[in-house]
Amino acid sequence: MVQYLNQLTKGQQVKVIKTFLDFDKTQIETGTILTFVNYTYFPYDGGFTFTFEEGIIRLAEIDANSEHVMNNFHEFFALVDTSSSQEKST
């Protein structure tokens, strides 16, 4: 069961279920479907760059808002079941 964005595997899709701002203050909108590609980690600031086919989300442990998003996956994202095109919440 995915609990964190860095547990996604290539090709998995998530739907944003709650709008938030990433570390760069880019607004990630409710309803957005994202297809995971990979992520990189930068230890200096605890920063993660999550790459999706549709774009990039940057989150960092030094930013309270980003840290909340990273630690509360199910508040902000739902897994998309691509086999039946229905969302799963776990």
Q: Which domains does the chain have, with CATH numbers?
A: 5-84 (2.30.30.350)
Q: pLDDT at position 73, please?
A: 92
Q: pLDDT at position 6, please?
A: 85
DSSP secondary-structure letter at 84? Answer: T
Q: pLDDT at position 4, please?
A: 83
List phi, psi (to 5°) of 27: -80, 125
Q: pLDDT at position 81, please?
A: 87
Q: pLDDT at position 84, please?
A: 56
- Reading the chain (90 residues) residue by residue, the pLDDT tens digits are 778 888 899 999 999 999 999 999 999 999 999 999 999 998 888 899 999 999 999 999 999 999 999 999 999 999 998 775 444 444
Q: pLDDT at position 45, please?
A: 81
